Amino acid sequence: MLDETAVVAANREIAESTSLLTLRAPRIVESGVSPGQFVNVAAGDASRLLRRPVSVMAVDRANGVLDLAIMRVGEGTRAICSMPCGSAVQLLGPLGRPFTLGGAKRVYCVGGGMGVAPVRFAAGAFIAEGCDVTAFYGFKSSAYIFGLKGLACRAHLTTDDGSMGRRGPITEALTDAIGQARPDLIIACGPEAMLRAVKDIAIRDRIPCQISLEARMACGIGACLVCACKAGASGNAYRRVCADGPVFDIGEVNIDE
């Protein structure tokens, strides 16, 4: 984990209320950034003390840059997304536990909304390792779609309103695909309702599954406990999303409530 002053190399709009920031952060990139990990980004001036956790969407190791897809949902993310090229921004990372293949040869990568970003990173990395990868991306509408350009695998696309791709939840497409070819592993990141549906599918069909949880992660290192989530079937224990995750096996955390 490093605290590095990165430089904004590019900043462009990629979907509704969503920016793609390309940051030059050679020390963090060189230290090794794996799919599913995140960085904590300083949100501008000193009035915003807490950094914002953002999943890494892509890494260019040769040039020491990484891509972050960020949706503008509050004052902090709006400040980050307004940074012009050449701006300096403080990053802490890489943070968290990544996705792992565990010997899987066929992987289904499921992303919902902004959860597409870490899943997109994982899909590319797993393809590079020789895996048979299929992507499943679900969005609210066509205006919010990103992450399809340059995707080097089969992809299923759904939107809630049917404005592009299949209408309905992405888990319907996932269920249909499992009926045709069973994967060795499912990975997923997105809204909790989607993750609960993915979990039910994985348990029903006895498929290993890893999920990446989205949470407020103020410190990013497990000290503040803001991101604690219930663990295990009983829900009497807790895990820290930032330090123990954000990637968990479906049996490690309780997302059913």
| Structural domains in the chain, sorted by start | 2-95 (2.40.30.10), 106-212 (3.40.50.80)
* CB distance 21 to 201 below 8 Å: no
Alpha helices, DSSP H, located in 82-191: 116-128, 170-180
SS3 call for 150: coil
Q: Which of 109, 105, 104 is nearest to 119 (CA)?
A: 109
Strand 166-167 and strand 237-240: the pairing is unpaired
Q: Six-digit token pair at 62?
A: 């040769």
Q: In angstroms, rounded to a whole number, what is the distance separating the alpha carbons of residues 92 and 40?
A: 5
Burial class (CB in 10 A: 0-12, 13-18, 19+), 17: middle
Per-residue pLDDT of the chain (257 residues; tens, 9 = 90+): 899 999 999 999 999 999 999 999 999 999 999 999 999 999 876 556 678 999 999 999 999 999 999 999 988 899 999 999 999 999 999 999 999 999 999 999 999 999 999 999 999 999 999 999 999 999 999 999 999 999 999 999 999 999 999 999 999 999 999 999 999 999 999 999 999 999 999 999 999 999 999 877 767 777 777 778 888 666 578 888 888 999 999 989 888 86
Q: In angstroms, rounded to a whole number, what is the distance separating the alpha carbons of residues 10 and 24?
A: 9
What residue has token string 């050449």?
Answer: 86
106: region left, alpha or beta (phi > 0 left; psi from -120 to 50 alpha): beta
Q: Which of 10, 12, 17 is nearest to 144 (CA)?
A: 17
Q: Using alpha carbons only, give the angle 244, 232, 196 rounded to the nearest 5 degrees.
A: 90
Q: Which of 19, 17, 38, 22 is nearest to 81 (CA)?
A: 19
Separation in Å, CA 16 to CA 35, 143, 162, 179: 24, 5, 16, 33
Q: Which of 49, 33, 42 is nearest to 1 (CA)?
A: 33
In this prediction, residue 195 carries a pLDDT of 96
In this prediction, residue 255 carries a pLDDT of 86
**Given 3-state DSSP classes, what are the helix, strand and coil percentages for the chain, each rounded to the nearest 5?**
25, 35, 40
SS3 call for 242: helix
